[in-house]
Chains A and B, each alone.
Chain A
């Protein structure tokens, strides 16, 4: 079992470009969570998805950010028209039964906007 796989590990984008971050949950896990972490800070919740459904997107900025978890394939976090303030580490976590039993985290994608 390969764990939660995130790619790419590092992503550099110029201002105005699009960033696409991918997350493949652990086998058998149908709950996916995305968090953002700024340097020296804790993790800030962005979105919670199950297959083909967004359950809670209360942490997602209203504009430029979107997420999906299709029936087949990885979960995608998409950031359009990136700005310098989007530079952060983005972590994906998965669980088999929701947050009540703990998460398994991926190694994160470090996005740098230049």
Chain B
């Protein structure tokens, strides 16, 4: 298994519903970041949470981090069709923290 695994692999919801995506990792981290990728485009940085933080908010996004379980979740509230994209978590390892390691992503589809 790789550092940073998202769950579920795919998620389909109706507009207005909340979407929750999870990320698990294996080694101690310095921080964890979430990115969004629209089809065929580059990734866009959404939010960063440091290892000493438990929760962060940014607009309709809420990220939690549980370092004891080595897991994070991304919640998108009141989803919109425009939220349809792939979402990736990325970790900066504590020991070899020169670059981010990305997971395989969750494909979110928000149906109008």
Contacts and interface: CB of A to CB of B under 8 A. Distances in A.
Interaction A to B: yes
Interface residues of B, number: 23
Contact of A98 (B33, B43, B44, B98): B98
Given A41-B104, A42-B105, A45-B101, A103 B45 contact: yes
A91 B43 contact: yes
**Interface SS majority for chain B:** strand
Interface stretch (A12-20, A67-75, A104-112): A104-112
B98 A91 contact: no
Contact of B43 (A41, A48, A99, A105): A105
Interface residues of A, number: 24
Contacts of A42: 2, 4, 88, 102-105
A96 to B, nearest CB: 13
